[in-house]
Amino acid sequence: MPHPRLRVAVCGGGIGGLVLAVALSQAQDIDIDVYEAAREFAEVGAGVGVWPRPWKILKALGLAQDLAQVTFVPPENELVVALDFRKGDEPHGGTTFGQMLSPGGLISFHRPDFQRIVLQHLARSCRPHTSKRLVSYTQPSSASEPIQLFFQDGTTATCDLLVGADGVKSRVRACMIKEVADDLRARGDSITASKVMQSAAPVWSGMMSYRTTAPSEALQKRYPNHRLLKEPHVFFGKNTQMTAYPIARGTLVNAAAFTVRWDLENTYLDAPWVVDAPRSEFSQEFADWEPEVQALFDCVKSTSRWAVHTVIPLRSFVHRRVILIGDAASAMLPFQGSGAGQAIEDAYILSALLTHPSTTVHSLERAAKIYDAIRRPAAQRVAVLSREAALLYTFNYPGLTLDRDGCREEQLQKIYKRIVNNWAWAWETTAQPDLERAIAMLEGRMQ
């Protein structure tokens, strides 16, 4: 490419970074470098679910047809069971108390399949680099001067715009927040500077997630017609929860089982975040759960335990020509199955602003501000709903705890209705109005 209009560096090759790279490569005159810290682009061998709202974006980006080859995609307008709700913390058998229906349901993937297909769609204008861990950057105030990137291996690179898609532990976020706080201190506002600094490091949610997959064939043998071979389920329990669903065209069942200590929410955990967990630990935490859950555990070979971390809501996702997307911007609890969905939405709106022909190096800061105005409130709202879902799932939502005698069924129904109402945005709305608003703002047709 002789003279690219923009040179974009994407730090992080997870779902958000790669979808952004695909979306940006639809413009011929944008030069894209993706810098991934790991030795190869490799997603964790777990499942990820996508709701109709982000699925429509994947379709618009030309990814849906190939993604549909590795999963089952229900007809878009047909109501299907997205999730069955079941109280699972009962040793003699759980109770199903609700079914969440949605048009198109929850489309579930084995993460490595998803990543492989997105990678196949990267255009030639995009250069992926592995073993490139960003350590810091410097951002000159003049847009004519490039941003400088510094990597752990001692190499450097330059770009016009840096996108931090580097996940919950984001190095880009840490550097960006320091830049913002330094600016505030220089202007004498050390109180706001300290508040801003609270979002620099991720915080522990008090939750541990046991993530695993079980071969469907083994599960069928161990427990014929196990409910997880057919439909996705959320199992509810006091301070415990499990979401499980078939993936890889039904050959595996993916499970994420959670324990929570709400009193430890937003603390700092002085321990490794991800460790191998023996099956005995996993089963012990859920020892009083129903036989079908125990049967699933019996079929599991390995499990890992993840300390679930989040980001304290940021005051901005952008600082001049540095922009955060996905978990780097708004890592949230996974209880609306929407963290990856938000990363996809971030990528979609940002790419529309950057590929717009009027966007140049000199108007990048304006495009960044529009991205922040559209995406930050939306993603932070989903984070709030995800936390509310976590309280409901674990019977900790104020007034809906099942601790009161005699009204268990009534309480379960109230929980069910609240969860469904909170979730409906994921299939009843689309990102199209946000996209149109962003473009209208960019073109000066809207404030």
Ligand X SMILES: Cc1cc2nc3c(=O)[nH]c(=O)nc-3n(C[C@H](O)[C@H](O)[C@H](O)COP(=O)(O)OP(=O)(O)OC[C@H]3O[C@@H](n4cnc5c(N)ncnc54)[C@H](O)[C@@H]3O)c2cc1C
Choose the binding region for ligand X from 32-40, 192-200, 225-233, 374-382 (rule: CB under 6 A).
32-40
Place of tokens 């399949």: 113
Of residues 56 through 115, those in contact with ligand X by CB under 6 A are none
Q: What mask, x for binding ligand X by CB under 6 A, covers residues 199 to 238?
A: ----------x-x---------------------------
Told to check if 389 binds ligand X by CB under 6 A, we report no
Q: Quick one: 347 or 441, whose CB is closer to ligand X?
A: 347
In angstroms, what is the minimal distance from the CB of 331 to ligand X?
7
Q: What mask, x for binding ligand X by CB under 6 A, covers residues 293 to 312?
A: -------------x-x----
Query: What type of residue sits at position 63?
Result: L
Residue from the set 8, 257, 341, 374 that interacts with ligand X by CB under 6 A: 341
In angstroms, what is the minimal distance from the CB of 47 to ligand X?
7
Told to check if 166 binds ligand X by CB under 6 A, we report yes
Told to check if 35 binds ligand X by CB under 6 A, we report yes
Q: Quick one: 40 or 405, whose CB is closer to ligand X?
A: 40
Q: Quick one: 347 or 442, whose CB is closer to ligand X?
A: 347
Told to check if 21 binds ligand X by CB under 6 A, we report no
Told to check if 171 binds ligand X by CB under 6 A, we report yes
3-state secondary structure the chain: CCCCCEEEEEECCCHHHHHHHHHHCCCCCEEEEEECCCCCCCCCCCEEEECHHHHHHHHHCCCHHHHHHHCCCCCCCCEEEEEEEEECCCCCCCEEEEEEEEECCCEEEEHHHHHHHHHHCCCCCEEEECCCCEEEEECCCCCCCCEEEEECCCCEEEECEEEECCCCCCHHHHHHHHHHHHHHHHCCCHHHHHHHHCCCCCEEEEEEEEEEEEEHHHHHHHCCCCHHHCCCEEEEECCEEEEEEEEHHHCEEEEEEEEECHHHCCECCCCCCEEEECHHHHHHHCCCCCHHHHHHHHCCCCEEEEEEEECCCCCCCEECCEEECCHHHHCCCCCCCCHHHHHHHHHHHHHHHHHCCCCCHHHHHHHHHHHHHHHHHHHHHHHHHHHHHHHHHCCCECCECCCCCCCHHHHHHHHHHHHHHHHCHHHHCCCHHHHHHHHHHHCCCCC
Q: Quick one: 138 or 194, whose CB is closer to ligand X?
A: 138
Q: Quick one: 105 or 442, whose CB is closer to ligand X?
A: 105
Choose the binding region for ligand X from 30-38, 64-72, 175-183, 365-373 (rule: CB under 6 A).
30-38
Residue from the set 9, 14, 173, 277 that interacts with ligand X by CB under 6 A: 14
Choose the binding region for ligand X from 10-18, 142-150, 261-269, 294-302 (rule: CB under 6 A).
10-18
Residue 360, both tokens: 């140049």
Residue from the set 13, 94, 104, 202 that interacts with ligand X by CB under 6 A: 13
In angstroms, what is the minimal distance from the CB of 354 to ligand X?
17
Q: What mask, x for binding ligand X by CB under 6 A, covers residues 344 to 383?
A: ----------------------------------------
Residue from the set 8, 9, 23, 48 that interacts with ligand X by CB under 6 A: 48
Binding-residue total with ligand X (CB under 6 A): 34
